[in-house]
Amino acid sequence: MDDGMQPSIPTGPSLLTAGTAAATASTSRTPKLREKTLLPNLAITNQRFYNHDLRLLEEGYLSDVKVSCGNETWDLHKIILCSRCLWFEKAFAAGFAAGCQMRHLSGWETSALLTLTRVNIQESQSGHVTIQEFEPEKVYWMIRYIYTGVINIKELRTDSTVYAACLDLYILGDYFDMPELRSESLACLTAHCNSKAGDLQQRQPQGEALKQIMDLEALFEGLKLAFGDNADEGNPVAQILLNLVHKTRFCLLPNPKFLELLGQVPKFSVALMKVLYGQQYDLRGVRYPSKCADCGVSPGQGKHFDKMYPFTHQSWESRAYCSECAPDAEEIPTNIFRAAKRRTPYAGFNPGDW
């Protein structure tokens, strides 16, 4: 090539020196401004990578492996799958046999989850893995999360409720050894339940209003799945749903459909009773009233006190009434109130004696 066609490349220190000096001067004068200028906008960067990776998933551009489930086959990328999911790393690296025990949900049994998939050496070498334990729709949820790192229940192609979808995502995360997916599914479920609990506690609806706000059928479906016969009683999904029921119990307990559910799902009934039992009012440390709440007569005056009655009026406040003033209630022994008059708790009192 002729020298006249060669690009002009500075060989001396002039360009480097000038650039370095300018950068040094700029840094010394406005270090904060320069720092802000050089730092990337993480939100824009993440969105850009999200869009690029989602495009790779949807278009299959430069794909080098295939993943099949049912009638669906996806053209995917080994480097993305193996670098972001240990299950696929093992599957495409050397294959592994079925029968491995699940570490977190050993008690789960769903229509699609029994044992780990058998991926043999031939499949790993061919770059085509078949998953038989899940529905294609749910496998796509997991693949989409691998590519995008984002869960949006509203964007999932599903007819499942939020409760059931989050449960399925948690099982997928456990099955495919993706702790991030498990955490995201629990966070999504927790946010949804807190929102529902807030609405119910503020409005305290009943009847059709309760059914619409709470979406009772969806909640009941989620409870049946989370507390199924083969489900692990201590799984985190069940605990989140149990916490939701506990927060909204004053609206749910009077509901006839909820009472039917208690009979249909024994594990849930037992778990709820354990929670409620732990918050019962302990009467052993209570000082009982020393006189009738209406007429003011005390047991020591010997008037109207052939029987004594306890009463709580929509609160934990203890009240006592003589036989003349008492509302409808069961009688309790008079000596309890004699002990109360002496300002000493009646340690031998048993609520079952009321």
**Residue 83 contacts by C-beta under 8 Å, 6 or more apart in sequence?**
89
pLDDT for residue 145: 92
- Class of residue 238 by CB neighbours under 10 A (exposed 0-12, middle 13-18, buried 19+): buried
pLDDT for residue 237: 92
99 in a structural domain: yes
Rg (CA), the chain: 33
pLDDT averaged over consecutive 10-residue blocks of the chain (354 residues)?
Answer: 44 40 45 45 63 82 89 92 88 55 41 40 72 90 90 70 89 91 92 84 69 81 88 84 88 87 91 76 51 72 50 52 59 41 36 34
Sign of the dihedral defined by the CA atoms of residues 134, 137, 138, 139, in that order: positive
pLDDT for residue 55: 85
pTM (predicted TM-score) = 0.60
Sign of the dihedral defined by the CA atoms of residues 338, 313, 282, 285, in that order: negative
pLDDT for residue 315: 45
Q: Which helix (H) or strand (E) holds 262?
A: helix 256-264
Q: Is 265 left (phi over 0), alpha (psi -120 to 50) or beta?
A: beta
Same domain? For 268 and 335 the reply is: no
Same domain? For 140 and 197 the reply is: no
Same domain? For 235 and 295 the reply is: no
Question: What is the CB-side half-sphere exposure of residue 230 using CA atoms within 13 A?
Answer: 9
pLDDT for residue 76: 92
**Residue 242 contacts by C-beta under 8 Å, 6 or more apart in sequence?**
268, 271, 272, 275
* Distance of alpha carbon 247 from alpha carbon 200, whole angstroms: 9
Same domain? For 214 and 258 the reply is: yes
Q: How many domains does the chain have?
A: 3
Q: Which residue segment(s) compose the domain that 231 sits in?
A: 183-277
User: Which of 277, 307, 327 is the last residue before a domain boundary?
Assistant: 277
pLDDT for residue 98: 39
120 alpha carbon, distance to own chain's centre: 35
